[in-house]
A and B are shown apart, each in its own frame.
Chain A
Amino acid sequence: MSTSVAFEKAKAENRAALVGYLPAGFPSVEGSIEALTTMVEAGCDIIEIGLPYSDPVMDGPTIQDAVQQALDGGVRVDDVVRVVEAVASTGVPTLIMTSWNPIERRGVDRFAQQLQDAGGAGLITPDITPDFAQEWIEAADARDLDKVFLVAPSSTDERIAMTTAQCRGFVYATAVMGVTGARAKTSDLAAPLVARTRTTTDLPIGVGLGVSNGAQAAEMAAYADGVIVGSAFVRTLLDNRSDEQAALKALASLTEDLAAGVRAR
């Protein structure tokens, strides 16, 4: 199911959509399914599942830590697809967020087919841009999968237009110049970027990087169609790693706080 469904629903309710991220296989394959399901039940409108990769350039220390644990635990690409299938079966649009090489290594077309068969919505590809993603664009177009590329505060207007022209589902606007990770203050670069992006597309725009609580989510929901949260969820699991029930409880309450935030625009 395309993420556009969730964005339309949020729009009809005059709010932003909440997009939640966790890497597959963290703390374990089953554990990640349970955690993501908890996030869905507590109010995430869209789920991003991270495909753990050995050399993630766009991730900060929190997500790197979780991804390394997932890799050390032996998570495989097929496990990631299994997590997608389980989460997508809840009825919430579910994407994979991945560095490029695992997709290239498997074969872009073969991966796209697996993703579609599992009920996945599409891919977020943070370390490639449309001008180097022709094969993925064709594979996604053939299956109507979401293609979510990123725009950044440093992007020129020309590149934003080129990028949004190739997106399907939504556009991912990175709120800061930097890698993933919770930040104490929201960025003043995000709103101008969303405004510049809006002039090029009718697609919904999700803003990510640095959001960790309901108040920040509310600030971003004022101008964005979606608020994307990753490291804060990961942090919650890392902080409660010895107590699974406490972790899920904390995850649910963070989700509720953020879900209230996207409704308080």
Chain B
Amino acid sequence: MTTHIHETTSFDADEFGWFGGEAEGFGGRFMPEALMKALIELDDAWQKAKADPEFVAEFDAILRDYANLPSPLYHATRLSEQLGVRILLKREDLNHTGAHKIRNVLGQALLTKRMGKTRVIAETGAGQHGVASATAAAYFGLDCTVYMGKVDTDRQALNVARMRLLGAEVVPVPSGSGTLKDAINEALRDWVASVDHTAYLFGTAAGPHPFPTLVRDIVRGIGDEARAQAIEQFGGLPNAVVAAVGGGSNAIGLFTAFLDDSDVEIHGFEAGGDGFETGRHAATIQANDPGVLHGARTYVLQDEDGQTIESHSISAGLDYPGVGPQHAWLAKSGRASYTSITDKEAMDAFALLSRSEGIIPAIESAHAIAGAIKIAPEIKERHGEGATILINLSGRGDKDMGTAIDYFKLGDEK
């Protein structure tokens, strides 16, 4: 069994979707009335599905036979030597389609089938969630429309082609900044008009209740697997678990299994872009300004009028001006700590992992590697020789080679 989707933690939302309660906490369901019935139905359907052993068994079988899961937990020996702590990598880069995101879409699409809907829609930034959604739609025989900012369709032509090959309709969104947040807006607009037969495959553990909980439950297998593998292969729990945080699905997927292991430190790393102090970043939690974006109260990059400020990161997957509400609560409650990694730190880690382990990570995941590099000395100090950091290597870097070629000038002849 790879997934523990029915299990709970002390950091779950209440029935209204509040993490940490309505007064002090985050989440909720700030949505047009037109979508309320669908969101309530989705919540009900999920509660029933995850309690149904047949559904769970079917999900497990699909993950195993189709998505190549569970992914290995790999001891990165050369990197461990360099950092003086034991580094374990959860190899989500080896999953079908190359990232943790396949878990989310297969889970949501399986639920869509169960609910009798025939069409799925999704938003995508760089195209990874779009490709995953198109893949799941092809697998289950569902119609699929993917909304993608016009700026992103222009710079991610390869992923647009992949989605179309997989049979999805890709709709470029020119409004606003033409990026991920605008793609979400447009997907929500579609959903308001199509909700009777269409499911919205939300790409991260954010948005209105129940999405933060639903997506978290579906991707928590990352941590469930890693926790069992750490005990079985390496004799115990790690001292710290580390992941990159954009919307936060790979991070919550890893963290959930460890939330009630109070001895395990939890560290999330946001995209620091040009550096937090420059204002050009996507470090939403660090900016510490609560607001309501895309259906949830959470930390938001915004100006004093509450207008969303555009985020900046070399990593398209982390380039989002909000964050999942459970992360906001884990930060505020002190259970997890969140800091940021600059573009440069992430790209240095991208190169380091490539050369020391022969693994080219997604730039998103490189933020987690950079974070581990940063905290390794203090982890060693707190936990002694043999201290262990477990990192979610959430995706592979093939999609980022264009960025790498520009950044490292790999195309130069001399």
Contact between B31 and A101 (Cβ–Cβ < 8 Å)?
no
On whether A105 and B302 interact (CB within 8 A), knowing A53-B307, A56-B185, A64-B175, the answer reads yes
A156→B37 contact, CB < 8 A: yes
Set of chain B residues within 8 Å of A132, measured between Cβ atoms:
28-30
When the two chains form their complex, are residues A177 and B192 in contact, meaning their CB atoms are under 8 A apart? yes
For the complex, is B292 an interface residue (Cβ under 8 Å from A)? yes
Q: How far is the CA of A156 from the CA of B188 in the complex (A)?
A: 20
Tell me the bound Cα distance from A152 to B39 in angstroms: 14
Within 8 A of B (CB), among A135-163: 149-156, 159, 163
Q: How far is the CA of A76 from the CA of B29 in the complex (A)?
A: 26
Minimum CB–CB distance from A88 to chain B (whole Å) comes to: 21
Contacts of B306 in A (CB 8 A): 53, 77, 101-106
| Chain A residues whose CB sits within 8 angstroms of the CB of B406 once the complex forms | none
The answer to whether A155 and B33 touch across the interface, beta carbons within 8 angstroms, is yes
Bitwise, B275-312 to A at CB < 8 A (1) or not (0) is 00000000000000001111001001010111110000
How many residues belonging to B are interface residues under a CB distance threshold of 8 Å? 37
Let me know if B410 is at the binding interface, CB within 8 A: no
Which of B28, B32, B182 contacts A126 (CB under 8 A)? B32
A residues in contact with B32, CB < 8 Å: 57-58, 126-127, 129, 150, 152
How far, in Å, is A140 (CB) from chain B's closest CB? 17
Whether A155 lies near B36 (C-beta < 8 A) is: yes
Contact A150 B175 (CB under 8 A): no
Minimum CB–CB distance for A239 against chain B, Å: 19
Which listed residue, A54, A127, A128, touches B308 by the CB 8 Å rule?
A54
**Among B28, B181, B188, B307: residue with most chain A CB under 10 A:** B307
A55 within 8 A of B: yes
Task: Tell me if B's interface is mostly helix, strand, loop or mixed.
Answer: mixed
Task: Please name the residue on chain B nearest to A129 by beta carbon.
Answer: B33
Q: In the bound complex, do residue B34 and residue A177 qualify as a contact, i.e. CB atoms below 8 Å apart?
A: yes
B185: chain A residues within 8 A (beta carbon): 55-57
A99 to B356, alpha carbons, bound, how many Å? 49
How many Å lie between the Cα of A112 and that of B15 in the bound state?
29
Whole-angstrom distance between the Cβ of B72 and the nearest chain A Cβ: 40
Select one of B31, B297, B302 contacting A127, CB under 8 A: B31
Complex CA distance for A179 and B195, rounded to whole angstroms: 13
B293 touches A101 (CB 8 A): yes
Q: Mark B181-200, 1 if CB is under 8 A from A, else 0.
A: 11001001100111110000
- CB-based contact B304/A105 at 8 Å: yes
Q: How far is the CB of B188 from chain A (nearest CB, A)?
A: 5
A-B contact count (CB 8 A): 117
- Type the 1/0 row for B1-34, where 1 means its CB is closer than 8 Å to any CB of A: 0000000000000001000001000001111111
Contact in complex: B176, A151 (CB < 8 Å): no
Answer whether residue A61 sits at the interface, using C-beta atoms and an 8 A cutoff: yes
Which among A53, A54, A154, A176 is the interface contact of B37 at CB below 8 angstroms? A154
Chain B residue contacts of A103, Cβ below 8 A: 306
CB pair A129–B176 under 8 Å, yes or no, is no
CB A84 to nearest CB in B, in angstroms, measures 15
Check A174 for interface membership: any CB of B closer than 8 A. yes
Q: Does A31 contact B (CB under 8 A)?
A: no
Query: Are A68 and B175 within 8 A (Cβ)?
Result: yes
Q: Is B38 an interface residue (CB 8 A)?
A: yes
Q: Is A42 an interface residue (CB 8 A)?
A: no
Of chain B, the residue at the smallest CB distance from A177 is B193
A residues in contact with B293, CB < 8 Å: 55, 101
Q: How far is the CA of A71 from the CA of B192 in the complex (A)?
A: 25
Within residues 186 to 225 of chain B, which ones have a CB less than 8 A from any CB in chain A? 188-189, 192-196
Instruction: Give the CA-CA distance A69 to B189 in the complex, in Å.
Output: 20
Query: Are the CB atoms of B33 and A149 closer together than 8 Å?
Result: yes
In the complex, how many angstroms separate the beta carbon of B168 from the nearest chain A beta carbon? 22
Q: A152 to B28, Cβ gap below 8 A?
A: no
Q: State whether A154 touches B188 (Cβ < 8 A).
A: no
Given contacts A55-B185, A154-B195, A178-B192, contact A128 B31 (CB under 8 A): yes
Residues from chain B with a CB closer than 8 A to the CB of A159 are 33, 36-37
Q: List 24 A-B contacts (CB under 8 A).
A: A55-B181, A55-B182, A55-B185, A55-B293, A57-B31, A57-B192, A58-B192, A59-B189, A68-B176, A77-B306, A100-B292, A102-B306, A104-B291, A104-B297, A105-B306, A127-B30, A127-B32, A132-B28, A132-B30, A154-B195, A155-B36, A156-B37, A177-B34, A177-B194
Known: A150-B33, A178-B193. 7 other contacts (CB 8 A): A102-B307, A106-B305, A127-B30, A150-B34, A151-B33, A154-B38, A176-B193
Q: Which 10 A-B pairs have the closest CB atoms?
A: A105-B306, A152-B34, A178-B193, A102-B306, A101-B306, A54-B307, A54-B308, A101-B292, A154-B37, A57-B188
